[in-house]
């Protein structure tokens, strides 16, 4: 669990280039699944061994400058509210604009670290011109050129210095379930239906994160912490009109849990925003349960449960081994089943398979279906094991790891899922040289 850093600034100052520059080293390693994330506005980065999540608040606003005028305030406010530190990017070519001044006005009132980065400083003349940004009243600025990376090192040094220390939370043995989804999908009602008006709660621990409350839940023989993003205080000014908001609000909760209960409104379908939240959970290697709420409102002639489920599975390929539970929070239908499923997914995610048993099952399968020859070379897999990580990762040792293609990885993953129950859990498979 790291800090969250937001990048703000008006359009075309080079936020995305800067963002991509910071996450590329890592993303290339983490995100080998192509096309998994539809958006590129969230990523992880690290500098000098300190990890943080990076959120690019731009890029969500399509349209003209005046639409942007209204939006930029919202984005900056959201960044101020959600992030631990803010990088404000301006452009030396255009100099200080009225919009920059407006953003600076908002940022001056914040008691969080704000770093001012003057972008596109790639020669001495521009370095001299950057002085005018002192007028924004944000103190020191960092001249950078995000295209070639000059100056970003100093900026990141200062960022790491400024980030608040995160107190390591006492690791409770209890599973943590986060209830996430877009606004009005029924997250709060789901939690109320679970807890019941009598609130069988042992304790209300105010979460260390400012916004999600951990509720200790003990009922039906299950005990776990509920990380509730539903109760996040909404600023009336921040209208939930951009996909970005609910995704950004979910980031912390998702990074901070073991299993995500993704609640969606059956009448609205599995739309882009829900998909973003789903892939966010998948990329963070969290367990996932999809809860289709308001099933009682769906016209059953046209939509059978089977068809609906098939539709969702098409959208979440290739990670289709995910439990989907149809619930109605109103009638409390299958609410208990939802929790039962989440507990099962939690157990799957923490499952450890003995190396011997794993080899006994997987090696015969590999022998029957060896990796196809590549460039005339044959890959021989001799040994495999589960790695000692918090979520399931497996290493297969072979003579030519570089020749194993993606389809074969998927084949192995499917077999592995058939033989061992990993429903609801993303799996990583690595090929290593023996």
Residue 244's pLDDT is: 58
Please tell me the CATH superfamily of domain 3-162, with its number.
P-loop containing nucleotide triphosphate hydrolases (3.40.50.300)
Question: Annotated binding residue at 361?
Answer: no
Question: Annotated binding residue at 382?
Answer: no
Question: Annotated binding residue at 11?
Answer: yes
Question: Annotated binding residue at 120?
Answer: yes
Q: Where are the domains of the chain?
A: 3-162, 176-349, 355-433
Question: Annotated binding residue at 60?
Answer: yes
Residue 138's pLDDT is: 92
CA dist., res. 304 & res. 207, Å (int): 39
Residue 33's pLDDT is: 33
Question: Annotated binding residue at 160?
Answer: no
Question: Annotated binding residue at 284?
Answer: no
Residue 247's pLDDT is: 63
Question: Annotated binding residue at 293?
Answer: yes
Tell me which residues of the chain have a pLDDT lower than 70: 1, 25-40, 58-71, 166-172, 196-214, 220, 228-249, 302-303
**Alpha helix ranges (H) inside 15-150:** 15-30, 65-82, 98-108, 124-129
Question: Annotated binding residue at 296?
Answer: yes
Residue 198's pLDDT is: 40
Question: Annotated binding residue at 294?
Answer: yes
Question: Annotated binding residue at 187?
Answer: yes
Q: How many CB atoms lie within 10 A of CB 204?
A: 11
Tokens representing residue 125 in the block: 């003349």
Question: Annotated binding residue at 97?
Answer: no
Question: Annotated binding residue at 137?
Answer: no
At CB < 8 A and 24+ separation, what contacts does 128-131 make?
129/92, 129/95, 130/92
Q: What residues contact 97, with CB distance under 8 A and at least 6 apart?
A: 10
Same CATH fold assignment for domains 3-162 and 355-433: no
Instruction: For residue 413, give the H/E element and its range.
Output: helix 406-419
Q: 362: closest CA among 394, 316, 337? A: 394
Phi, psi of 51 (to 5 degrees): -95, 145
Tokens representing residue 348 in the block: 């799957």
Instruction: For residue 274, give the H/E element and its range.
Output: helix 272-283
Question: Annotated binding residue at 426?
Answer: no
What's the whole-model pTM score?
0.68
Residue 80's pLDDT is: 80
Please tell me the CATH superfamily of domain 355-433, with its number.
K homology (KH) domain (3.30.300.20)
Q: What residues contact 418, with CB distance under 8 A and at least 6 apart?
A: none
Question: Annotated binding residue at 321?
Answer: no
CATH of domain 176-349: 3.40.50.300
Question: Annotated binding residue at 247?
Answer: no
Tokens representing residue 351 in the block: 């499952």
What is the C-alpha end-to-end distance of the chain, expressed in Å?
Answer: 32
Question: Annotated binding residue at 14?
Answer: yes
Tokens representing residue 32 in the block: 């080998």
Question: Annotated binding residue at 9?
Answer: yes
Question: Annotated binding residue at 74?
Answer: no
CA dist., res. 4 & res. 224, Å (int): 25
Question: Annotated binding residue at 15?
Answer: yes
Question: Annotated binding residue at 12?
Answer: yes
Contact in structure between 226 and 215 (CB atoms under 8 Å): yes
Evaluate the CA torsion angle 276, 253, 259, 46 in order and state its sign.
Answer: positive
What angle, rounded to 10 degrees, do the helices at 272-283 and 243-255 form?
20
Which strands, in side-by-side order, build the sheet including 324-326?
Answer: 201-205, 213-219, 222-228, 176-180, 259-265, 287-293, 324-326
Q: Is the peptide bond before 318 cis (omega within 30 degrees of 0)?
A: yes
Residue 423's pLDDT is: 95
Question: Annotated binding residue at 183?
Answer: yes
């Amino acid at each position: 669990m790291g800090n969250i850093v937001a990048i703000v600034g008006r359009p075309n100052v080079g936020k995305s280039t800067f963002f991509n520059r910071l996450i590329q080293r890592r993303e290339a390693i983490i995100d080998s699944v192509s096309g998994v994330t539809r958006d590129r506005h969230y990523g992880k980065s690290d500098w000098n061994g300190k990890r943080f999540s990076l959120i690019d608040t731009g890029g969500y606003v399509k349209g003209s400058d005046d639409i942007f005028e209204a939006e930029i305030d919202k984005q900056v406010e959201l960044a101020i509210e959600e992030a631990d530190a803010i990088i404000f990017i301006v452009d030396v070519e255009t100099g200080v604009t009225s919009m920059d001044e407006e953003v600076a006005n908002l940022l001056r009132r914040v008691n969080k670290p704000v770093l001012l980065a003057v972008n596109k400083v790639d020669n001495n003349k521009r370095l001299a011109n950057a002085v005018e940004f002192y007028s924004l009243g944000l103190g020191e600025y960092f001249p950078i050129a995000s295209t070639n990376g000059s100056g970003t090192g100093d900026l990141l040094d200062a960022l790491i210095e400024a980030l608040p220390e995160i107190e390591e939370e006492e690791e409770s043995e209890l599973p943590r379930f986060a209830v996430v989804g877009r606004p009005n999908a029924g997250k709060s009602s789901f939690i109320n239906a679970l807890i019941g008006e009598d609130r069988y709660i042992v304790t209300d621990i105010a979460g260390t994160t400012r916004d999600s409350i951990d509720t200790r839940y003990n009922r039906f023989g299950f005990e776990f912490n509920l990380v509730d993003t539903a109760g996040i205080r909404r600023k009336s000014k921040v209208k939930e009109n951009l996909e970005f908001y609910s995704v950004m609000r979910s980031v912390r909760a998702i990074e901070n849990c073991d299993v995500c209960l993704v609640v969606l409104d059956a009448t609205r379908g599995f739309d882009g925003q829900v998909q973003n939240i789903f892939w966010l959970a998948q990329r963070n290697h969290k367990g996932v349960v999809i809860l289709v709420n308001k099933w009682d409102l769906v016209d059953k002639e046209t939509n059978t449960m089977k068809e609906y489920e098939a539709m969702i599975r098409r959208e979440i390929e290739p990670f289709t081994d995910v439990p989907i539970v149809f619930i109605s929070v109103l009638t409390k239908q299958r609410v208990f089943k939802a929790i039962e499923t989440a507990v099962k997914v939690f157990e799957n995610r923490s499952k450890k398979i003995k190396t011997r048993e794993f080899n006994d099952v997987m090696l015969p399968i590999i022998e029957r279906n060896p990796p196809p020859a590549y460039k005339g070379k044959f890959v021989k897999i001799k040994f495999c094991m589960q790695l000692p990580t918090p979520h399931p990762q497996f290493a297969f040792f072979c003579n030519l790891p570089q020749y194993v293609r993606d389809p074969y990885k998927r084949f192995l993953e499917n077999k592995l899922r058939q033989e061992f129950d990993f429903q609801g859990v993303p799996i990583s498979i690595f090929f290593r040289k023996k």
